[in-house]
Amino acid sequence: MTVRRIFKSRISRQNEILDVLSSLFVTEVIQPSSTFWLVSPWVTDLELLDNRTGNFDYVEPAWGQRMVQITELISRMLANGGRLNLVTNYDSHNDRFLRQLKERVHNYGVSDRLMIVRKHQLHTKGILGSNFYLNGSMNLTRGGVEFNDEQINLDIGKEAIADAELHFIKYYGSDVMAEGGVS
């Protein structure tokens, strides 16, 4: 079986979602995919990785013993050689996340590894790495992770990963290529 389905609600399985997301992002920091796709109409700089005990100090000692935000994980991933294609909408909710991400990526000197595309009509949600495809109804926001009823699928099948990559390239690839990089 290559697919794990998670059905969550406000009162059940939020920790399971956080565990899956933090595991995927830490894996990407340690061994980045050649291209990592994050497609979400709305994004928030969630405190995703619990490093309060220092268990992840080996990944990035500068984080210290605290909760680590998504933009910190992404920035470290890019500094370790990864590339991110981020697709989101024009809603002002996303502006803070994008500012924080651009600043952190700039501080690492890897702005050329970050491609941001904003679409007026975006409903697709997915996170795609070389070895997984996470998709479903959840936006990468506090509401999506903690409050809303959501269904999420984690697929590690090569066919699903290749299919998602082809679709992301087809729908967003020309915009990513035109963007070129973030300054």
Distance CA 99, CA 110 (A): 15
Distance CA 57, CA 147 (A): 30
Residue 23, H or E segment: helix 14-30
pLDDT for res 16: 84
Question: Mind listing the pLDDT tens digit for each residue in 11-46?
Answer: 777 688 889 999 999 999 999 999 999 999 999 999
Choosing among 1.10.530.10, 3.20.20.70, 3.30.870.10, 3.20.20.480, the CATH entry for 3-179 is 3.30.870.10
Question: Mind listing the pLDDT tens digit for each residue in 72-123?
Answer: 999 999 999 999 999 999 999 999 999 999 999 999 999 999 999 999 999 9
pLDDT for res 181: 52
pLDDT for res 183: 38
pLDDT mean over 155-166:
96
Residue 180 has pLDDT above 60, yes or no: no
32: which 2 tokens? 């980045």
User: Do residues 60 and 29 touch, judged by C-beta distance below 8 A?
Assistant: yes
pTM summary value: 0.90
Q: Where are the domains of the chain?
A: 3-179
Residue 137 has pLDDT above 70, yes or no: yes
Least confident range from 45-49, 80-84, 129-133, 179-183: namely: 179-183
Give the residue, 16 or 156, on which the prediction is more confident: 156
Write the single-letter amino acid at 32: P
pLDDT mean over 167-172:
93
What are the start-end ranges of the H helices in the chain? 14-30, 70-79, 95-108, 142, 158-179
Give the residue, 164 or 137, on which the prediction is more confident: 164
pLDDT for res 70: 96
Distance CA 80, CA 108 (A): 10
Write the single-letter amino acid at 97: F
pLDDT for res 75: 97
